[in-house]
């Protein structure tokens, strides 16, 4: 079959939609170069109507018509998808194939906790696989993703995957898959920590007399401004803190209280807990 699509999505949920939109809007791919499958008719309508991307209920059509396939399904669903593709390719992914051979395809997975060995085992020894940990801000073009390539994936495959995820923010390549547990704890779960911090700031300001609307508005703008300043400045975080925290001033009083309450230790323990849970989920799967 003459392969026309550069990328096919199996699963057309929110993350797949964000990636597809970023790829098209940033002119990485044309809508005509993408295809997506999903069991949910509403998700298919979203892709076809808003993004003008071809849709189907047939995962095997995505496999046969795409040079690369991106798994954007839930971890509890992926085994069924992998089995379906492997059987279609001639039995457990041996590459023999009316679908073009799994060994001839690049597979990119964003299924949380699903390891490279699990993906490669299901798709066959020659499968080219890349595992990615994205995060929710990709849905507003501010994502942070980390990826690791499997034993058969090439540097060109890695560059291709980086191009996909940089269309919705930033992406980095790692050599050690074990580091994805830390990535999960930092950038994967990290948005929730920021939401919690913003809520805590706003709630505290409300308790001091500000309206909820104004308190949240000020908290969000403060976080965004601090992030932008920190990203642009050549100074370290410690140096930036010293600039704001004048001796004997209000910021110093707040920082002393945060230190007394063990703020940095609380954050460290939270990251450790999330990373350990990620490891546990990987072992269970």
The CATH number of residue 16's host domain is: 3.40.50.720
76 plus 156 within the same structural domain: yes
Q: Is residue 232 part of a domain?
A: yes
169 plus 208 within the same structural domain: no
Domain that holds residue 229: 190-282
117 plus 170 within the same structural domain: yes
Q: Is residue 263 part of a domain?
A: yes
Considering 107, 140, 175, which residue would you say is the last residue of a domain?
A: 175
Q: How many domains does the chain have?
A: 2
Q: Is residue 258 part of a domain?
A: yes
User: What is the DSSP track for 150-211?
Assistant: -SS--HHHHHHHHHHHHTTEEEEEES-TTHHHHHIIIIITHHHHHHHHHHHHHHHHHHTT--
Strand partners, 171: 145
31 plus 157 within the same structural domain: yes
Q: What is the pLDDT of residues 155-214, one digit of tens each?
A: 999 999 999 999 999 999 999 999 999 999 999 999 999 999 999 999 999 999 999 999
Q: Is residue 183 part of a domain?
A: no
Q: Is the distance from CB of 100 to CB of 3 less than 8 angstroms?
A: yes
Give SS3 for 82: helix
Q: Is the distance from CB of 96 to CB of 104 less than 8 angstroms?
A: no
106 plus 157 within the same structural domain: yes
Q: What is the pLDDT of residues 250-262, one digit of tens each?
A: 999 999 999 999 9
pTM: 0.89
Q: Is residue 184 part of a domain?
A: no
């Amino acid at each position: 079959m003459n392969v026309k699509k550069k990328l096919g999505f199996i699963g057309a949920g929110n993350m797949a939609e964000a990636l597809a939109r970023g790829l098209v809007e940033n002119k990485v791919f044309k809508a005509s170069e993408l295809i997506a499958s999903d069991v949910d008719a509403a998700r298919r309508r979203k892709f076809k109507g808003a993004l003008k991307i071809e849709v189907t209920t047939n995962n095997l059509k995505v496999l046969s018509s795409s040079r690369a396939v991106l798994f954007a399904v839930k971890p509890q669903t992926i085994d069924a998808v992998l089995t379906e593709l492997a059987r279609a390719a001639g039995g457990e992914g041996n590459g023999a194939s009316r679908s073009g051979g799994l060994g001839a395809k690049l597979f990119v997975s964003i299924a949380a906790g699903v390891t490279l060995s699990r993906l490669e085992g299901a798709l066959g020894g020659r499968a080219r696989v890349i595992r990615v940990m994205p995060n929710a801000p990709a849905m507003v073009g501010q994502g942070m993703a980390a990826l690791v390539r499997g034993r058969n994936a090439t540097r060109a495959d890695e560059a291709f995957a980086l191009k996909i995820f940089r269309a919705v923010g930033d992406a980095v390549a790692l050599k050690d898959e074990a580091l994805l547990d830390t990535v999960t704890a930092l950038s994967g779960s990290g948005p929730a920590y920021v939401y919690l911090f913003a809520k805590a700031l706003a709630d505290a300001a409300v308790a001091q007399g500000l309206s909820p609307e104004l308190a949240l508005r000020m908290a969000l703008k403060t976080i965004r401004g601090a992030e932008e300043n920190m990203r642009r400045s050549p100074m370290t975080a410690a140096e930036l803190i010293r600039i704001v925290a004048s001796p004997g001033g209000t910021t110093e009083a707040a920082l002393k209280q945060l230190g007394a309450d063990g703020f940095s230790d609380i954050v460290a323990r939270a990251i450790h807990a999330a990373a350990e849970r990620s490891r546990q989920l990987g072992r269970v799967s």
